[in-house]
Amino acid sequence: MSNGESPGLYIHVPFCRTKCPYCDFYSVTSLSLIPDWLDGLRKEAVFYKDHFAAFDSIYLGGGTPTLLAEHELAALMDCLFNNFTFSPDTEITIEANPDDITLDKLGVLRGIGVNRISFGVQSFDDKELQYLRRSGFEGQTEAGWVQTIKRALDFRPEHLSCYQMTLEEGTPFGKMLAQGRMKLLGEEEEREFFLLTSRLLEKEGYIHYEISNFAMGKEYISRHNSKYWRHVPYLGLGPAAHSFREDVRWWNLGSIESYCKALVYGKLPVAGSETLSEEQHRLESLYLGFRTSAGVDLELVRNQPRFDMILSELQESGLVQVHMGRAIPTREGFLVADSLPLLFADW
Nearer residue to ligand SF4 within complex by CB, 20 or 74: 20
Can you give the three-state secondary structure of 234-298, one letter per residue? Answer: EEEECCCCEEEECCEEEEECCCHHHHHHHHHCCCCCEEEEEECCHHHHHHHHHHHHCCECCCEEH
By CB under 6 A, tell whether 27 contacts ligand SF4.
yes
Query: Cβ(60)–Cβ(95) under 8 Å?
Result: yes
Three-state secondary-structure class, residue 25: coil
Shortest gap between Cβ of 97 and ligand SF4 (angstroms)? 6
By CB under 6 A, tell whether 119 contacts ligand SF4.
no
Count of residues that bind ligand SF4 according to CB under 6 A: 9
Helical (H) or strand (E) element with 321: strand 320-323
Nearer residue to ligand SF4 within complex by CB, 212 or 315: 212
Nearer residue to ligand SF4 within complex by CB, 95 or 284: 95
Nearer residue to ligand SF4 within complex by CB, 62 or 329: 62
51-90: contacts with ligand SF4 (CB under 6 A): 62-64
Shortest gap between Cβ of 27 and ligand SF4 (angstroms)? 5
Q: How many CA atoms lie within 13 A of 63 on its CB side?
A: 30
Nearer residue to ligand SF4 within complex by CB, 23 or 328: 23
Nearer residue to ligand SF4 within complex by CB, 25 or 47: 25
Contact residue for ligand SF4 among 2, 5, 20, 276 (CB under 6 A): 20
Query: Cβ(45)–Cβ(80) under 8 Å?
Result: yes
By CB under 6 A, tell whether 23 contacts ligand SF4.
yes
Stretch that binds ligand SF4, among 13-21, 134-142, 223-231, 322-330 (CB under 6 A): 13-21
Q: Using alpha carbons, list the distances in angstroms from residue 41 to 17, 147, 148, 257, 278.
A: 21, 41, 37, 13, 33
Helical (H) or strand (E) element with 316: helix 307-316
Residues of this chain that interact with ligand SF4 (CB under 6 A) are 16, 19-20, 23, 25, 27, 62-64
